[in-house]
Structure 1
Amino acid sequence: MRRPQVPRRRALPPAGTARWYRPVALTSDALGAFVPVLTVYYLTAQPRPLAAATVATLGWLGLRAAHHRYRRGALGESRGLLASLHDWLLLLGLLAGLRAVTGERSEVSAAALGLLWAPLVTSLTSAALHRHLTGRRHRAEAVRRVLVVGEPDTVDLVTARLAAGTDHAYVTVGAVLLGPGELTSGAPPLARLPAAAPAHSPAVPDLVPAGTDGSVVLSAARQQCADLVLLVPGARLSGDRLRRLSWSVQDAGLALTVATGLTEVARHRVTVASAAGLNLLHVAPPPRRGAAVLWKSALDRVLAALALALLAPLLALLALAVRLDSAGPVLFRQTRIGHRGTPFTLWKFRTMVPDAARRRPALESANEHRASPLFKIRQDPRITRLGRLLRRTSLDELPQLVNVVRGEMALVGPRPPLPDEVARYSTVELRRLTVRPGLTGPWQVSGRSELSWDEGLALDLSYTDNWTLTGDLDVLARTVRAVVSGRGAY
């Protein structure tokens, strides 16, 4: 029997990347390095400006290509800020080495000024491509059609998580189930495999006998024009059965993915190893101590102190505006719960009337987060006129830089909770307190008050277990955009 023919769809990279992404990225990177270096060298009368611009451009493009930045599966998949910074630091090292070898005599300040624009232009282009790709996926374009195979409960879990986000390339078009049970996630069940694997005929190249797992799955894939089969291992799909099914899927030309069951674990914490024929996933523990934690604490305090010094005139102006806008103290002090449950006093510019706490019980019925420990009202009558502006721009949060300098908070971290919120926390929610709360965080750049409690909690827990220093820099950069847009601030 011939193997079932499945329509050959394009592989993953073209499915997520428009054809013009690569030329746009290459052109942008080349111009971002060549034009600034050439301009600065001409304006400052440096020797051999054309040669310097050419070498800088070739070095920049070469490093980016060596790190597969132009691979069609990578373009548009991220904002690219951290990758650009990483490549730029390597470029500086490479050009410094060439300078020492060749005896190049241009001024270091001119070279630094000319090279400064390359990562900025590259990051802006990467962010634009990311927004374009994300927009296409919101419209169900640039996606992969996924057929999920597994037991009903595990298939429900996988399909529900895939459906919860539109920032990835996977769209479930159907499911093949093993064993009893029905789906609740909404994925259409296309077929059901027997609880036990059927007997196999002798292996014959290019053949998939009728009635086997492979023939059923491939028939369902053909029906839905799926281009990827996602296997979810379980008690009924493991060992030899899983291996034979993978043979059938891949021999038919379909892409194959196996779900590990791990959730909310960042890729940098996972490594793959083999032992006794088994593929093992090693999961590194969350960063709780060590050099990275010390660096984060030191960097937070230094940057917060510098920000306080630079923003002193603005802070004085805001303090005067709060004083003139309404009666009451300039600063609002509130007890929050910090690292490992330690209470501390959080500082903010006052945005409400002085008796806001006394008036809260009368507003409980208007609370938009009654199903959670939070208390939020979109049009809170206690907020002053200036307070609405301060909240929308997040300027009311600036005094918390003092909390960062004191070590009570971090620049990036989970939202600092109130004591009555923590009193209602479950064991899972208490995990948020294993790191210092942040002046900003994933919740700040993902919608703030527009997020539900569960969405905000998921972001905080993911940050708690997977934070990195480079990730913190990315959140800080995204915070600027979130503050400018004012989305979810009330």
Structure 2
Amino acid sequence: MTTESNKGTSSFLTRPSYSGTRPRTAPAARSVSGAAGATIQRRRVPSWVRRYSRRLLYTDVIILVATLTLFGLLMLPGLQASVVWPNGPDDVPYFVPLTIVGLLWMLTLAAFDTRDRHIVGHGVLEYRRVVDSTLFVFAAIVIFAFFLRIEVARTLFLFALPVGLTGLLLGRWWCRQWLRRRQSAGDYVYRAVILGDREKIAHVVKQIRSTHGTGYVIVGAVTPHGVSDMIGDVPVLGPLHEAKEAIDATGADTLILTGADEINPTAMRRLGWAMAERDVSWVVAPALTDVAGPRIHAKPVAGLPLVHVDFPRLEGYRRFAKRSFDIVGSILLLILTSPIMLAAAIAVRLEGPGPVLYTQERVGRRGTTFAMFKFRSMVEGADDQLASLLDLQGAPEQPFFKVTDDPRITRVGRIMRRHSIDELPQLLNVLSGKMSLVGPRPQRPAEVALYDDVVERRLMVKPGMSGLWQVSGRSQLTPEDSIRLDLYYVENWSFTQDLHILFRTIKAVIAPGRTAH
């Protein structure tokens, strides 16, 4: 890797770059004059960020043009219809307002920062902004048409709104999958140096690497005293006063600050100036973990960037909206999956003796118990063998533990479990209000009895047929990761996140991969 250094750079700058990706030359730089007249190597925002933003722009344009064109051809045959406008010009052809709608839609997507580089490619905030901007466009159309007494075809809202919104969301998802593939190959990533205490650095590195698709590659660390060793597999590049040289040596485009007692406000300010001169992204990782972006609000007070964190709430209209979605969704899914459920029931009956449906007591919201329904996927009397199997595998008192290579599962049961067919009867639990389509996985009372006061927060919401950890690795996750993901869901619930999880659930059911068993 080619490195560039300033005058007076310490000898550690001759070290190679410690990157998990293939070496590459540092971006072209131009010098600017610093406060002390020193020559500073100025970098730019990684070029891949702009390229990816353009890809999103082109994708949005193609989807909106296709949506509005399809609307015109299907709902306005030959595009011969005219807009009825009593107080305006006569015979305004429909392609004129459709063009205006398309331009307004694109401008609103930009105004809502749906392609902002800080949110695209990760989390649900990007999808939420797409939804909000689309609803804003059509709300504006309704208001505008009402006051000007313009007769707009109702099919515009019945067709263009759902089709266009679905297309935009699918387009963003497709771009995100493309980005993930490039990042897996070592491209389209942020090269980051982490600065702070060793324990905090280790925590941030673990969190970043345990989450798929963050886009950050950790190339080194800077600690207050700069002892030349490793933090895990991350090399310590130097002490705090050589942080600027560490950035120059590695060609990093991001500095992640985790915090250290030795960093006073003056040193922080000067370091921020140095990063601004280099166009290096300045990222602060506070001691808050598993908090989603929408709950965090920055508020400058007396020159201090105070961070406000909202508490999770699933009450009032939010609870009503989630329950309404569960009712409608469960009814539709019961209708759509009834042929599959009938075939599964016949297969279970032919497999061997025992009931078709299996019921087990599970713990729901606020500790209430209910009977959860499933298609029987194990031999009759399987519950009586569970304790001995857990003892055999050395996990008699671990919640979330799953028996490996469970001998109780039947041949039909193994197929049903792989594609989650055995869980379809839980739609009845959802319809009755005991469960939700999305939520933490319902556990047995014996497992809940092992909860501590932290894990008990899972019981604040209804358990779900699918959840965050089911679509994030399923059986390959450790019990700790499963608990962490369930708690993250509870602490950061949103309707958009539910839709995102359901979409990922469909993908996991159709192509379960190696994590399902």
TM-score range, shorter chain: 0.7 to 0.9
Retained in 2: the 8 A contact 1:414–1:441? yes
Q: Which runs of 5+ in 2 are unaligned?
A: 1-6, 8-35, 83-92
Change (3 A) 1:19 1:387: same
Structure 2 counterpart of 1:282, which letter? H
Give 2:238's match in structure 1, choosing from 169, 181, 191.
Answer: 191
Give unpaired runs (5+ residues) of structure 1: 194-212
> How far apart in 2 are the matches of 1:370 and 1:16?
52
CA RMSD of the aligned region, Å? Answer: 3.0
Residue aligned with 1:29, SS:
helix
**Counterpart residue identity of residue 39, structure 1:** L
Deviation at 1:5, TM superposition (A): 5.0
Tell which deviates more after alignment, 413-422 or 287-296: 287-296
Show CA shifts across 1:308-359 (max 9, x none): 4565555445334422332211111111122222222211111111122233
Q: Alpha carbons of 1:146 and 1:274: their partners in 2 closer, same or farther (altered >3 Å)?
A: same
Counterparts of 1:453 and 1:5, CA distance in 2: 52
Partner Cα separation in structure 1 for residue 407 and residue 200 of structure 2: 46
Name the stretch that deviates more: 278-287 or 251-260.
Answer: 251-260
1:54 maps to what in 2?
Answer: 99
1:328 matches 2:362:
no
Shift of 1:22: 4.0
Task: Quickly say closer, same or farther: Cα 1:88–1:308, change in 2 above 3 A.
Answer: same
Q: Which residue of 2 aligns with 1:282?
A: 308
Is 1:369–1:453's contact at 8 Å kept on the other side of the alignment?
Answer: no
Tell me if structure 1 keeps the 8 A contact 2:296–2:307. yes
Asked if the contact 2:60/2:168 (under 8 Å) is kept, the reply is no
1:160 aligns with 2:206: yes
Cα distance in 1 between the residues matched to 2:218 and 2:50: 15
Is the alpha carbon distance of 1:153 and 1:114 closer, same or farther for their aligned partners in structure 2, counting shifts above 3 Å?
Answer: closer
Superposition map of 1:294-333 within 5 A: 294-308=320-334, 311-312=337-338, 314-333=340-359
Evaluate the alpha carbon distance shift between residue 250 and residue 165 of structure 1 in structure 2; reply closer, same or farther with a 3 A threshold: same
Moved over 6 A (4+): 368-371
Equivalent-residue separation in structure 2 for 1:98 and 1:273 (angstroms): 35
SS at the partner of 2:307? strand
> Partner residue of 1:489?
516
The 2-side partners of 1:72 and 1:32 are apart by 26
How much does 1:248 deviate? 3.2
Alpha-carbon distance, 1:437 to partner: 1.1
Is the deviation greater in 101-110 or in 472-481? 101-110
Q: Give the alignment partner of residue 408 of structure 2, picking from 382, 390, 407.
A: 382
2:436, 2:465 within 8 Å by CA — same for their partners in 1?
yes
Deviation at 1:95, TM superposition (A): 2.7
Correspondence 1:69 to 2:96: no
> Which whole-Å CA distance do the structure 2 matches of 1:244 and 1:141 have between them?
31
Summarize deviations over 1:173-224 as a string: whole Å, max 9, x none.
112211487653321111124xxxxxxxxxxxxxxxxxxx3xx211121111
Q: CA deviation at 1:251?
A: 3.6
Q: Secondary structure of 1:188's match?
A: strand
Contact residue 4 and residue 218 of structure 1 kept, 8 A: no
Structure 1 residues 143-152 or 124-133, which shifts more?
143-152
The separation in 2 between residues aligned to 1:60 and 1:394, in whole angstroms, is 39
Moved more, 38-47 or 437-446: 38-47
Q: Structure 2 vs 1, CA of residues 369 and 180 (structure 1 numbering), >3 Å: closer, same or farther?
A: farther
Show the counterpart of 1:474: 500
What is aligned with 2:478? Answer: 452
Match of 1:261 among 278, 287, 297: 287
Instruction: Provide the secondary structure at the position in 1 that maps to 2:508.
Output: helix
CA contact (8 A) 2:192 2:253 kept: yes
Corresponding residue number in structure 1 for 2:58: 24
Alpha-carbon separation, structure 2, partners of 1:23 and 1:408:
43
CA distance in 1, matches of 2:478, 2:485: 11
Q: Partners in 1 of 2:307 and 2:334 — Cα distance?
A: 44
Contact 1:351 1:391 in 2 (8 A): yes
